[in-house]
Structure 1
Amino acid sequence: MSWNVTVDTEKCVGCGECVDVCPVEVYEMADGKSNPAHYEECLGCESCVEVCESNAITVEEN
C-alpha cells in the first residue's frame, strides 16, 4: 500500500514537529518548510497530521 503525502507550504510554519515525530523519516526541512522528501517510505500512521498545529499535512491512500 502506498500513501500520498502533501504539505501545504502556505500553511506550514516550519516548526519541524512532523520531522521529529515521523518514525520513518519521511520529512526534511527545506527553506524553512517541511518537505515530504521520502514520501515513498510513509506508513500511513498519520502521526505527522496529528502533531501539525497548522493543519498543513495531508496523508491519503493511493
Structure 2
Amino acid sequence: MFKVTVDKDKCVGDAECVDVCPVDVYELVDGKAEPVNEDECLGCESCVEVCEQGAITVEEV
C-alpha cells in the first residue's frame, strides 16, 4: 500500500500526473491534482517523474 501526497502549494494543475497514471489515482479538483483513488496506487512513481514542480511524493506504508 502507498501513501500519495500532493503539495498544493507546488502543484500548478497541468494534469501531467492525471495523464501518466496507469490506474487513475489522480483527478483535478479546483485546479489542483488530488489523489482520489490512492488505494489503487501501484507505487510506480510515474507521477513523481513527470511532475516538474516536484509536488508529488509516493511512500510505501
Q: CA RMSD in A?
A: 0.2
Aligned partners of 1:53 and 1:13: how far apart in 2? 10
Identity within the alignment, %: 69
Q: Secondary structure at the match of 1:19?
A: helix
* Matched pairs, number: 61
1:9-58 CA-to-partner distances (Å, cap 9, x unmatched) read 00000000000000000000000000000000000000000000000000
Q: Secondary structure at the match of 2:4?
A: strand
Alignment partner of 1:27 is 2:30: no
Q: Structure 2 length normalisation: TM-score?
A: 0.99
Q: After TM superposition, list the pairs within 5 Å mapping 1:1-62 onto structure 2.
A: 2-62=1-61
Q: Structure 1 length normalisation: TM-score?
A: 0.98
Which 4+ residue blocks in structure 1 deviate beyond 6 angstroms?
A: none
Unpaired runs of 5+ residues, structure 2, are none
